Amino acid sequence: MIVALVAVSVVFAVGINRYDEKNDLRAEYSDFASQMIVNLTTLNPDSVDDALKTLQDKTSGKAQQQMQDSMKQAVGLVKDQKIDTKTTILSEAVTKAEPDEGTAIVVYGWQMKNPDPKEETIVQTFRWRVQMTRINGDLKMTNFEWVT
């Protein structure tokens, strides 16, 4: 009887530990994906250099290739026209959480303000599927897709 109770306790403890590890991974991937989207899409003339640094340091592979050209254009537009964009995360869901890779779908609201008060503020909602991979111990966004 005691052996059976010990065995059940061990199985229960291992199960809880695995559940906690999975939840920790989910939280890490959710936070990282959300922060990446905010950092890359919230732009103003003062923050564009930080966004470019995030692109360089926190992306890799296809995500970095996809974003480099469009980011340069966006940075030029923001600096030249003094545009201000702001992103607000509305919802996120982690769809894959493995120790070395994860995927999250993030829904975010984006607004763009022109310095000319006569210009209307543009507000849109987007969904991205963000794929992340742990490279040399650091989490990187390695791919993203627009989700319709």
Residues of the chain with pLDDT under 50: none
Task: Tell me the C-alpha distance between 57 and 66, whole Å.
Answer: 15
Amino acid letter, residue 53 = K
Other beta carbons within 10 Å of 108:
20
Per-residue pLDDT of 102-130, as tens digits, reads 999 999 999 999 888 899 999 999 999 99
Rounded distance between C-alpha atoms, residue 84 and residue 46, angstroms: 10
How far, in Å, CA of 52 to CA of 74, rounded? 10
In the structure encoding, which two tokens stand for residue 8, read together? 């059940």
Tell me the CATH number at 7: 3.10.450.230
pLDDT at 38: 98
Give the pLDDT score at 3: 59
**Which pLDDT score, from 0 to 100, does residue 135 have?**
97
Q: Which domain holds residue 139?
A: 2-146
Contact by Cβ (8 Å): 147, 128 = yes
Report how many domains make up the chain.
Answer: 1
